[in-house]
Copies of this chain bind each other. A is one copy, B any other.
Amino acid sequence: MPSLEFSLTATDPGSKARAGEMTTDHGKIQTPIFMPVGTVGSVKAVSQQQLKEEVQAQIILGNTYHLYLRPGPEVLEAAGGLHRFNGWDRPILTDSGGYQVFSLAGNRKLTEQGALFQSHIDGSKHLFTPESVMDIQRVIGADIIMAFDECPPYPSDYAYARKSMDLTHRWLDRCVTRLSETPDKYGYTQNLFPIVQGSTFADLRKASCEYISSREAAGNAIGGLSVGEPEEIMYELTALCCENLPEDKPRYLMGVGTPWNILENISLGVDMFDCVMPTRNGRNAMLFTSRGVINIDNKKWEKDFSPIDDGIDCHFSNFYSKAYLRHLVKAKEILGLTIASVHNLAFYLWLVKEARRHILAGDFNRWKNEMVPVLKTRL
- Within 8 Å CB of A50, what residues of B? 47
On whether the beta carbons of B71 and A305 are closer than 8 Å, the reply is no
Instruction: Say yes or no: is A333 at the interface (Cβ < 8 Å to chain B).
Output: yes
8 Å CB contact of A324 from B70, B87, B305, B321:
B87
On whether the beta carbons of A327 and B46 are closer than 8 Å, the reply is no
- Given A75-B323, A320-B87, the answer on whether A70 and B337 have CB atoms closer than 8 Å is no
8 Å CB contact of A70 from B320, B331, B335, B339:
B331
On whether the beta carbons of B44 and A79 are closer than 8 Å, the reply is no
A: number of interface residues (CB 8 Å): 42
On whether the beta carbons of A305 and B337 are closer than 8 Å, the reply is no
Distance from A279 Cβ to chain B, minimum over Cβ atoms (Å): 10
Instruction: Say yes or no: is A160 at the interface (Cβ < 8 Å to chain B).
Output: no
8 Å CB contact of A323 from B48, B66, B79:
B79
Distance from A160 Cβ to chain B, minimum over Cβ atoms (Å): 34
8 Å CB contact of A71 from B48, B327, B335, B338:
B327
Distance, CA A289 to CA B86, complexed state (A): 20
Instruction: Say yes or no: is A300 at the interface (Cβ < 8 Å to chain B).
Output: no
- Within 8 Å CB of A327, what residues of B? 40-41, 70-71, 75, 85
Q: How many copies does the complex hold?
A: 2
Mark A54-93 against chain B: 1 for CB-CB distance below 8 A, else 0.
0000000000001000110001001100001111000000
Instruction: Say yes or no: is A104 at the interface (Cβ < 8 Å to chain B).
Output: no
Instruction: Say yes or no: is A319 at the interface (Cβ < 8 Å to chain B).
Output: yes
On whether the beta carbons of A40 and B85 are closer than 8 Å, the reply is no
Distance from A88 Cβ to chain B, minimum over Cβ atoms (Å): 11
- Within 8 Å CB of A276, what residues of B? none
On whether the beta carbons of A41 and B324 are closer than 8 Å, the reply is yes
8 Å CB contact of A335 from B45, B315, B328, B339:
B45
Instruction: Say yes or no: is A334 at the interface (Cβ < 8 Å to chain B).
Output: yes
- Within 8 Å CB of A320, what residues of B? 87
Instruction: Say yes or no: is A366 at the interface (Cβ < 8 Å to chain B).
Output: no
Distance, CA A45 to CA B44, complexed state (A): 13
- Within residues 298 to 323 of chain A, which ones have a CB less than 8 A from any CB in chain B? 302-303, 305, 315-316, 319-321, 323
Distance, CA A308 to CA B169, complexed state (A): 45
Instruction: Say yes or no: is A284 at the interface (Cβ < 8 Å to chain B).
Output: no
- Within 8 Å CB of A324, what residues of B? 41, 79, 85-87
- Given A40-B331, A70-B330, the answer on whether A47 and B338 have CB atoms closer than 8 Å is yes
Instruction: Say yes or no: is A42 at the interface (Cβ < 8 Å to chain B).
Output: yes
Distance, CA A193 to CA B124, complexed state (A): 58
8 Å CB contact of A75 from B41, B303, B334:
B303
- Within 8 Å CB of A46, what residues of B? 335
Chain B residue, CB-CB nearest to A74: B303
The 3 A-B residue pairs with the shortest CB-CB distance in the complex, in nearest-first order: A45-B334, A71-B327, A42-B335
List 23 interface pairs A-B (beta carbons < 8 Å), by A numbering.
A40-B333, A42-B328, A42-B333, A42-B336, A44-B333, A44-B334, A45-B335, A47-B339, A49-B315, A66-B331, A70-B331, A71-B302, A71-B330, A75-B323, A75-B327, A78-B303, A78-B305, A79-B323, A79-B324, A85-B305, A85-B324, A87-B321, A338-B338
